Structure 1
Amino acid sequence: MATLLRPSLASTEIQEKPNFKITRHRLLIFLLLMSVLTVGFSLLSVSKSRFLRAGGVLGLIPELMEPISLNLWIRPPRSLTHDMTDEELLWRASIVPQRKNYPFKRTLKIALMFLTKGPLPLYPLWEKFFEGHEMFYSIYIHSTPSYQAGFPKSSPFYGRQIPSQIVEWGKMSICDAERRLLANALLDFSNEWFVLLSETCIPLVKFSEVHSYITQSKQSFLDAFDDLGVYGRGRYNPNMKPEINLTDWRKGSQWFQVDRVAAVAIVKDEIFYPKFKEFCQPACYVDEHYFPTMLTIEMADRLANRSLTWVDWSRGGFHPATFGGGGDVAEGLLKSILQGQSCLYNGQPSSRCHLFARKFSPGALSSLLELAPRVLGYG
């Protein structure tokens, strides 16, 4: 009877084998599931990383981290790097509030925009000029796309290059670069005034005087005069009618200072730009005519019809005089630029007409650094 109650080895195998199959099957399913989850999380991490590098931090992430608020719309870009085309950038920069009163406190700034091929050799002088006034200015640099600036992290010029394109003298690409600078600067609501400068420009007076002069002016400073000669009206093309008539044609220096209203008018323009691009070819020198003509038609009463940037044309020729080293830059030169000036400021006679000067070569830097504290009031 005992042998009848004891199960045989064969019967044990028959009873245990199905349980072993079920256990192995569940293990395989579990391992497969874990593999799928691992691959999924890996793909999600890669996708998230690419999204953040592509600008997700500047876009979606803040919305997830904080409730929708005014701060999301008014904070300036954290970086000047972006992948917008010119058309996208100009469209974005042309979006302006329709209410004059801002519902938040603005520390109004002057945007200093440098149009240069490469280095800014005079930047140590500008650093002396900016010292102690960090809350009241912004810097934007448009250089040759391949050029990578080597400013130290401590410099106000560090990381201030905007996405740029090739610029050719006398062609529309110069105006494109200037509009590109304005558009990038307009993305910061704190920027209220915009000054175009070259790598050869220097500040003639201390920052507080520049700030006071520009912020208290009722007009923008841009050359816009009617030149009846061959280098003025002689460059006009009748094909520009009816948008631009001969009597509208103006000429002036490209080195301007404009307020936010004029800056927006420049970046949003789709009426005059096509005419100048097609009919103001190299011999026309579009940078001397586009902005002066367009702004005269749009807002003549808002222009002072003069530039804030001094140049010396006394030597003749197609280009102004350049000042370099070897005693070329002396105290007498700087004082002669600052003294004996006469112009209108807010409708009243003024002896202060220029805040900047050009053209100063890299060789002038050491002399300028030495003279600036005594003659220019900074450094």
Structure 2
Amino acid sequence: MIAYLLLVHGNPLHLQRLINRLRSDGAMFFVHVDKKTDLNAFIHLQSDDVRVLPRDETVAVHWGDFSQVEAILSLMKTACAAGNFDRFVLLSGVDYPLWPTADINAFFAAHRTVEFISMVPMPCEAAGKPLARLTTYKVRPTLSLLQSLAIRVLLKARIMPRQRNLQRALGNLTPYGGSTWWALTRAACDYLLQFEDRNPALVQFFKGTQYADETFLHTILGNSPFLAHVRRNLTYTDWSAGGASPANMSISHVDYFLSTRRFSEENVYGGGPMIFARKFNDGDGELVRLMDRQLCNVALSTFALAECESTSAARPLPSLS
């Protein structure tokens, strides 16, 4: 049974396409709509297999802020309490699968103990994960104007240090960083929720960091028994143009997926199958239909079967040296 955890802030038409495409027996969808977004545009999606989180269980999500982690944890808690799911897949509302749904289900069934999450020990220059993301204090955009002003005054007066002692904050934990998107087992999600609940000081520390969605859960898993079962994530994102946002998918990407169905072993996070891609928008209906026609065919099913039969052993992560 698969729980899809969907972080959403727009594009309700594409979200409907995504859900329709992934629907199958035993699958359920949990949708967190950014509190800054009109919930009415998504509430019609509510059904037996789709649970749109009510407003009191959502947060206003800000880019690079811990609020994204809070939204993920809210989804995780809701899904864990809702059923006996054995796989939890975090996607954005602008993702779309590159494989037939039956093949995705078979792949997860064949890799029941693998944690698909891209992560490396920090610092890692090749992955763009400097320690400054953790050691440099970041004023949260969710603070009130008065709170923000007070903190900035304290920082400017050097009463409150902008550079923080990472070892004091993390103790014996090694920091890890990676990609936001993942597909984790039930056991890993239970562990993450229990760790978060039992370590409020660590949570408070990460609230003052930048891009906590790429470090918080990763650091917990990286210092747990689940590290031995980690493999890279399954979501393709095109950052080739640089900048703060990835490229939108296009027809040229369809051609790319027809010839390239795996991440290279030379990738900083290692090799593995591409099962999802981002990002799409409401106007990409024809592109999505083209992808379904050209990618989800017998040849891909044969490829997916080979992936399912491949070893489930995790690759070793790079060392800190």
Residue pairs, 1:85-104, within 5 angstroms: none
Aligned residues: 258
Tell me, yes or no, if structure 1 residue 277 matches structure 2 residue 204.
yes
* Aligned counterparts of 2:198 and 2:73: Cα–Cα separation in 1: 15
- Give the structure-2-normalised TM-score: 0.69
Instruction: Decide whether aligned partners of structure 1 residues 273 and 342 sit closer, same or farther in structure 2, where only a CA change above 3 A counts.
Output: farther
Shift in Å, 1:314: 1.7
* Aligned counterparts of 1:376 and 1:242: Cα–Cα separation in 2: 50
Shift in Å, 1:204: 0.8
Secondary structure of the residue aligned to 1:257 is strand
Tell me if structure 1 keeps the 8 A contact 2:116–2:184. Answer: yes
Match of 2:78 in 1: 184
Instruction: Decide whether aligned partners of structure 1 residues 316 and 190 sit closer, same or farther in structure 2, where only a CA change above 3 A counts.
Output: same
Tell me if structure 2 keeps the 8 A contact 1:220–1:302. Answer: no
Residue pairs, 1:336-355, within 5 angstroms: 336-338=259-261, 341-342=263-264, 353-355=273-275
Match of 2:278 in 1: 358
Shift in Å, 1:278: 2.9
Indicate the larger mover: 135-144 or 235-244: 235-244
Residue pairs, 1:124-143, within 5 angstroms: 124-130=16-22, 133=24, 135-143=25-33
Identity of aligned residues (%): 21
Query: Aligned partner of 2:32: which letter?
Result: H
* Aligned counterparts of 2:6 and 2:206: Cα–Cα separation in 1: 27
Match of 1:228 in 2: 124
Tell me if structure 1 keeps the 8 A contact 2:6–2:90. Answer: yes
Secondary structure of the residue aligned to 1:252 is strand
Higher relative contact order (CA 8 A, sep 6+): 2
Match of 1:99 in 2: none
Instruction: Decide whether aligned partners of structure 1 residues 156 and 315 sit closer, same or farther in structure 2, where only a CA change above 3 A counts.
Output: farther
Higher share of residues assigned strand: 2
* Aligned counterparts of 1:334 and 1:155: Cα–Cα separation in 2: 32
Gaps of 5+ in 1: 1-108, 345-349
Tell me, yes or no, if structure 1 residue 213 matches structure 2 residue 107.
yes
Match of 2:309 in 1: none
Match of 1:373 in 2: 293
Shift in Å, 1:164: 1.5
Tell me if structure 2 keeps the 8 A contact 1:111–1:137. Answer: yes
Tell me if structure 2 keeps the 8 A contact 1:240–1:275. Answer: no
Shift in Å, 1:182: 0.4
Which one of the candidate residues 136, 141, 144 is aligned to 2:34? 144
- Give the structure-1-normalised TM-score: 0.60
Secondary structure of the residue aligned to 1:361 is coil
Residue pairs, 1:292-303, within 5 angstroms: 292-303=218-229
Tell me if structure 1 keeps the 8 A contact 2:115–2:226. Answer: no
Tell me if structure 1 keeps the 8 A contact 2:18–2:95. Answer: no
Q: After the TM superposition, list the runs of 4 or more consecutive aligned residues in structure 1 that deviate by more than 6 angstroms.
A: 153-157
Indicate the larger mover: 164-173 or 288-297: 164-173
Secondary structure of the residue aligned to 1:191 is coil
Match of 2:150 in 1: none
* Aligned counterparts of 1:352 and 1:126: Cα–Cα separation in 2: 22
Secondary structure of the residue aligned to 2:245 is coil
Query: Aligned partner of 1:142: which letter?
Result: H
